[in-house]
């Protein structure tokens, strides 16, 4: 009869109960002493095993150790040379002390494993889940189309991008849980297994030259970032571990959207709004102001893809405000080191943006009020005595973005200092 060994060496439980001398660890195991394997031949007797354990446990001086880290660094000149990896750490059943179970491994085996393709049946389930969520919540306050404005473009893309499939599955599951819990917190809504799976597939896609700059990889990155900002209020745009850093790096590396790809265009406009605060907080280059980006985004704004979209005006406002991060960062630097030349430059840039926004107000914002797409209702609970109501989500986003930038341009204390500096120079 075979019985599995509990590996409680130097005398395992099975041998101890049978009152027999234990043969000890398998001969494939090796112990490290003074940075190398012991030279003595390895016997199977009790004395030899205890001697090896004592050598590892009680080395002379402070120069020896059983295992310094998770593995012993191998000789880089000999890539095929085996090294030891710790599998399990044990306490000896008798006489105290500890020892480690090790196994030999080649450095080439330490390469991180990459997830394979998601089975088609699993992708079918995710597609069905997305379609059901869209149809069952359409027109309600829980409309999935509000959370993901391009959700209708998702299903047909999932079969070609495992990273996209894993990321949308994570988002949908988190979004459903968020509707069910009383108090929203990352621990209550985030499935760590699904989150780890989404990250693994995203990493695999980013390491694949054929997938790294694919729109599916961009969508996966945007979704994981959205999970973070929508469901984890502990994070912020300036947090080093935030996914906004990865999203920014990917956007900057892959360049402007392809004008023949509807999803690519919608993603780039939406992400443009999200990355604004990240660029400001981290003072990163505003690549949206680069000539190739501006030209492509302006062409996209005039394309049929955007022309029929309910978010056309929102995208137009986003592009109008492309200079806003630069204006904020320059104002910050002016606050630290004010001078008249910089003040004049910033004032001219702010004046130009104000003119563009005034034009947008006349053509778009005022029209929203006239057509009753926006209206107010008296509400004594609000600080200003009334609440705003909107005909749809896209309209609310236009007004919210416009108001936030208006507050900056009119109430920013740096603006007052800039105007004074320009006035003194004149």
Q: Are residues 395 and 351 in the same domain?
A: yes
| Higher-confidence position of 224 and 414 | 224
Which residues span the domain enclosing 47?
13-110
Q: What is the pLDDT of residue 232?
A: 73
- Name the more confident of 55 and 357: 357
Q: What is the pLDDT of residue 72?
A: 30
pLDDT, tens only, 218-262: 999 999 998 888 887 666 544 555 688 889 999 999 999 999 999
**Mind listing the pLDDT tens digit for each residue in 352-363?**
888 888 888 888
pLDDT given at position 33: 45
Q: Is 384 helix (H, G, I), strand (E, B) or coil?
A: coil
Residue 290 belongs to a domain: no
Show which of 94, 110, 126 is a domain's final residue: 110
In a domain, 305, yes or no: no
Residue 298 in any domain: the answer is no
Q: What is the pLDDT of residues 103-143, one digit of tens each?
A: 666 655 555 566 777 888 999 999 999 999 989 888 887 88
pLDDT band at 291 (very low <50, low <70, confident <90, very high): very high
Query: E strands along 106-209, which residues?
Result: none
Of the chain, the percentage scoring pLDDT greater than 90 comes to 21
70-74, 127-131, 165-169, 384-388: least confident range: 70-74
- Answer yes or no: do 145 and 79 share one domain: no
Percent of the chain clearing pLDDT 70 (strictly above): 69
Q: Do 95 and 121 fall into the same domain?
A: no
329 plus 358 within the same structural domain: yes
| Predicted local confidence at residue 380, as pLDDT | 86
198 found inside a domain:
yes
My answer on whether 105 and 119 are in the same domain is no
pLDDT at 309: 82
DSSP conformation letters of 8-65? -TTS-HHHHHHT-----S-TT---EETTEE--SPP--SHHHHHHHHHHHHS-STTS--
Lowest mean pLDDT among 58-67, 231-240, 298-307: 58-67
The torsion of the CA quartet 149, 152, 153, 159, rounded to 10 degrees, works out to 130
Q: How many residues does the chain have?
A: 426
Q: Are residues 131 and 192 in the same domain?
A: yes
pLDDT band at 44 (very low <50, low <70, confident <90, very high): very low
Pairwise pLDDT comparison (80 vs 265), residue with the higher score: 265
Tell me if 269 sits within 8 A of 315, measured CB to CB.
yes
- Confidence band (pLDDT; 50, 70, 90) for 95? low
The answer as to whether 185 is a domain residue is yes
**Are 404 and 388 in a shared domain?**
yes
State residue 417's pLDDT score.
45
φ, ψ for residue 143 (rounded to 5)? -50, 125
Over residues 322-348, the pLDDT tens digits come to 888 888 888 888 888 888 888 888 888
Residues 77, 154 share a domain: no
Mean pLDDT along residues 174-197: 82
pTM, 2 dp: 0.66
* Count of structural domains, the chain: 3
- The CA-atom distances, in angstroms, between 326 and each of 48, 269, 346 are 72, 18, 10
pLDDT at 419 over 70: no
Q: Are residues 41 and 95 in the same domain?
A: yes
**Same structural domain, 343 and 406:** yes
Name the residue with higher pLDDT: 66 or 225: 225
**According to the model, what pLDDT value does residue 223 have?**
93
Q: Do 45 and 90 lie in a common domain?
A: yes
Cα dihedral sign, 180-401-250-122: positive
Please tell me the predicted confidence (pLDDT) of residue 411: 43
Q: What local confidence, expressed as pLDDT, does residue 88 receive?
A: 64
Residue 120, in any domain of the structure: yes
61 is a domain residue:
yes
Are residues 270 and 221 both part of a single domain?
yes
Asked whether residue 42 carries a pLDDT value surpassing 60, the answer given is no
User: Residue 170 and residue 190: Cα distance in Å, rounded?
Assistant: 8
């Amino acid at each position: 009869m075979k019985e599995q060994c509990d590996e409680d060496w130097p005398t395992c439980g099975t041998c101890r109960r049978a009152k027999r001398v234990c043969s000890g660890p398998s001969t494939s195991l090796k112990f490290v002493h003074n940075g190398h394997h012991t030279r003595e031949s390895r016997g199977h007797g009790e004395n030899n095993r205890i001697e090896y354990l004592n050598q590892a446990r009680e080395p002379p001086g402070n120069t020896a150790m059983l295992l310094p880290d998770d593995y012993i660094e191998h000789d880089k000149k000999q890539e095929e040379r085996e090294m030891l990896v710790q599998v399990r750490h044990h306490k000896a059943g008798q006489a105290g002390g500890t020892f480690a179970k090790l196994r030999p491994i080649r450095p080439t085996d330490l390469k991180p494993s990459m997830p394979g393709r998601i089975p088609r049946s699993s992708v079918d389930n995710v597609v069905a889940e997305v379609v059901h969520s869209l149809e069952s919540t359409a027109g309600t306050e829980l409309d999935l189309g509000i959370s993901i404005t391009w959700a209708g473009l998702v299903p047909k893309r999932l079969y070609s991008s495992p990273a996209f499939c894993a990321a949308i599955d994570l988002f949908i599951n988190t979004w459903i849980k968020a509707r069910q819990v009383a108090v929203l917190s990352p621990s209550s809504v985030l499935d760590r297994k699904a989150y780890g799976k989404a990250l693994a597939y995203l990493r695999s896609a980013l390491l694949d030259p054929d997938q790294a700059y694919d729109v599916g990889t961009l969508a996966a990155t945007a979704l994981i970032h959205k999970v973070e900002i929508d469901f984890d209020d502990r994070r912020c745009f300036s947090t080093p571990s935030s996914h906004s850093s990865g999203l920014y790096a990917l956007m900057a590396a892959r360049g402007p959207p392809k004008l023949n790809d509807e999803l690519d265009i919608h993603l780039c406009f939406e992400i443009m709004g999200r990355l604004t605060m990240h660029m400001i907080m981290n003072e990163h280059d505003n690549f949206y102001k680069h000539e190739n980006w501006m030209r492509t985004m302006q062409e996209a704004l005039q394309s049929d893809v955007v022309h029929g979209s309910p978010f056309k005006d929102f995208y137009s406002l986003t592009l109008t405000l492309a200079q806003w991060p630069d204006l904020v960062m320059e104002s910050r630097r002016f606050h630290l080191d004010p001078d008249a030349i910089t003040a004049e430059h910033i004032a001219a840039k702010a004046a130009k943006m104000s003119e563009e926004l005034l034009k947008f107000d006349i053509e778009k914002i005022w029209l929203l009020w006239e057509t009753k797409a926006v209206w107010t209702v008296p509400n004594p609970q609000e600080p200003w005595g009334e609440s705003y109501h909107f005909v749809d989500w896209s309209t609310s986003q236009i007004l919210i973005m416009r108001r936030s930038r208006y507050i900056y341009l009119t109430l920013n204390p740096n603006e007052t200092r800039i105007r004074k500096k320009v006035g003194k120079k004149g």
